[in-house]
C-alpha cells in the first residue's frame, strides 16, 4: 500500500483513498488488486479509485492482496462454522 501510494504521489496525483479512519484502506486496496476490473470498478469512486490502484500495483502487490483476501475469507468462514455448527461461542 505504501509503495503504491508513493508511486501515485510521485506521478503528481492525489491519494486514491482520501479517508482511512478505521484502516479499511488495506482491505479496499487488496480487493481492488485481486478482483477483475468489472467488479473492482463497482467500488465507489468516492472511497477508492480502483483503476489507479491497479495501474500502479505490481505483481507482488497483487500476490499480497490475494493472500489477504483468501486468508481473511477463510478466517471468517471458520468463525461462522465454529459458531453455527460447533457451538463455540
pLDDT in tens, 4-25: 888 888 888 877 776 667 778 8
DSSP letter (8 states) at residue 11: T
% of the chain with per-residue pLDDT over 70:
92
- Cα separation, 6 vs 14, in Å, equals 10
How many Å is the Cα radius of gyration of the chain? 15
pTM of the prediction?
A: 0.77
Q: What angle do CA 57, 58, 61 make, to 5 degrees?
A: 80
Given a contact cutoff of 8 angstroms between Cβ atoms, the answer to whether 66 and 46 are in contact is no
Amino acid at each position: 500500500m505504501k509503495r503504491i501510494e508513493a508511486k501515485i504521489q510521485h506521478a503528481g496525483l492525489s491519494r486514491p483513498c482520501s479517508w482511512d479512519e478505521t484502516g479499511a484502506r488495506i482491505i479496499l486496496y487488496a480487493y481492488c488488486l485481486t478482483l477483475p476490473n468489472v467488479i473492482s470498478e463497482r467500488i465507489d469512486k468516492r472511497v477508492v479509485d480502483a483503476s489507479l490502484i491497479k495501474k500502479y500495483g505490481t505483481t507482488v502487490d497483487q500476490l499480497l492482496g490475494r493472500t489477504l483476501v483468501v486468508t481473511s475469507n477463510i478466517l471468517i468462514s471458520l468463525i461462522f462454522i465454529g459458531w453455527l455448527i460447533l457451538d463455540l461461542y
